Structures are given as structure tokens and as C-alpha cells.
Amino acid sequence: MDIRIAPSILSADFCNLERDLQAIANADLVHVDVMDHHFVPNLTLGEPIVKRICEVSPLPVDVHLMIEDPDRWAPEFARCGADSVTFHMGATHAPVRLARQLRDMGVKACFAVRPAEPVEPIFDILDEFDMVLIMTVEPGFGGQKFLANQMAKTRRLRDEITRRGLDVHIQVDGGVSRSTAAIVAEAGADTLVAGSAVYGADDIAAEIDLIRNNAAAAYRN
Ligand SMILES: O=C(CO)[C@@H](O)[C@H](O)COP(=O)(O)O
Ligand SMILES: [Co+2]
């Protein structure tokens, strides 16, 4: 699988969002973190802003919902023009029904697990999803330290996907940088979210290329 880089706009300048979306045009996706002050202790943005991001972004928009009741709200974000919508294991009541609803709308369905959540419960429903997101920090904030203890889980998931010949991306999110890119790719992740590492760089485009190259050299399926 090709390595994909998804910069998180959580670390962008929200007053210069269009500029900061153009600055990552050499990436593969733009990662948009939606938080509701309930599922996580932080509040970011809602549908009107996601809709405008989808309209101006040069890249497909990957919406990461850290909200309660995604069964109710995820389709609303899909309608904003997202390419993919991710919801959390700990928040949904009917993941298969929601994944099918998103896919029926032409949007990729993705399932996320937090650091303390196992990935094995997803195995039986893996074919319902386009991507699984392994959180490598506790969700809620950018700029946290990467949790290397999530790599065994990532490897078990990649091995299961490979064994069954499925076409499912593995995304990692949290603390990904030029120095952790190889570790996550070696564990089998192909889609790397990076917020502070990208937007904190002096040369944003060069940093995206460096993270991608470091990951590509280490990727193992
Ligand atoms: O979902 C989240 C945080 O909950 C992320 O997408 C962060 O925005 C990643 O930021 P960095 O750890 O890369 O700074
Ligand atoms: Co995220």
C-alpha cells in the first residue's frame, strides 16, 4: 500500500485556515478533528466549518469525529462533502449500520480505537470498513507524546487484514513525526496523521515529504 500523509488542521492557524490548507497540498488527505466537549475534553468545530473546508481544500477531507452519538451526527458530516468519516468504538451503538449508511452516501467508513481499547472486536466486521484508526495518544489534543505501546495492536490488525486479503487502510493518529514515522509504518500503518509535526515545521511541504519517505522506507505489510 502507498503511504499517505494526513496533516491535522488542529495545529493550523484557524484564522488563516485556507492558507494553511493550501500549505499542505503535497499531502494526501487533510485530517479534520471534530470534538464536542463530551466524548473528549476539548471543543473544535462543527458542520458549517467542515463544509467550507471541503469546498476549499485541495485534498480529500478525512473527518475524525470525537463526539458522542456519531450514529446521529456522522451522516451530517458526510453530507458536508467529506471523503471519509471516522467514528469511535466507544461512542457508537451500531457500527455496522452506520458504516453502511456512510458507504451508501458514497463516503468511506472508518472505525477508531483508543489506546486502552482492543482491536480484536473489530475483526468480525472489518470488511464493513475502509480504514481503522489506531489512536497513538488519548484523543482530545494535539502535541502529545506518541504511544509506542500501540504498535503491537497495529501489527495484529495489519496481519489480519493481509491474511484475509482485505483492502482496509490502517491510520495512526497522535505524536506522529519524522522520528516516529518508521515505527508506525513498520507495524503496518499506511495512513499517518501528523498535526504539530507538520504545522510546526519551518518548511511544511518538505516535512510532509520527509515523513512520507521515512515511512515508505520502513513499511511492512
Ligand atoms: O485526533 C487527534 C487528537 O485527538 C489528532 O488528530 C491530533 O490533532 C494529532 O496531533 P499531533 O499529535 O500530530 O500533534
Ligand atoms: Co485526529
The CATH number of the domain holding residue 201 is: 3.20.20.70
Query: Is 173 known to be catalytic?
Result: yes
Question: Which pTM value belongs to this model?
Answer: 0.98
Task: Answer yes or no: is 87 a known binding residue.
Answer: no
Q: What three-state secondary structure class fits 118?
A: coil
How many whole angstroms from 173 Cα to the centroid of ligand 2? 6
Q: Chain-centre distance of CA 8, in angstroms?
A: 8
Candidate list 28, 83, 130, 173, residue with the active-site label:
173
Between the CA of residue 89 and those of 8, 146, 176, what are the distances in Å?
21, 20, 22
Q: Residue 1: what pLDDT?
A: 85
- Total of domains in the chain: 1
Would you say the CB of residue 144 lies under 6 angstroms from ligand 1? yes
Q: Residue 196: what pLDDT?
A: 98
Q: What three-state secondary structure class fits 194?
A: strand
Would you say the CB of residue 207 lies under 6 angstroms from ligand 1? no
The per-residue pLDDT for range 48-75, each reduced to its tens digit, is 999 999 999 999 999 999 999 999 999 9
131 in Cβ contact with 170 (< 8 Å): yes
Give the structural domain span for 140.
4-218
What is the ipTM for the molecules in this complex? 0.99
Residue 134 bridge partners (DSSP):
113, 172
173 in Cβ contact with 207 (< 8 Å): no
> Which parts of the chain register pLDDT below 50?
none
Residue type, 129: F
Would you say the CB of residue 185 lies under 6 angstroms from ligand 1? no
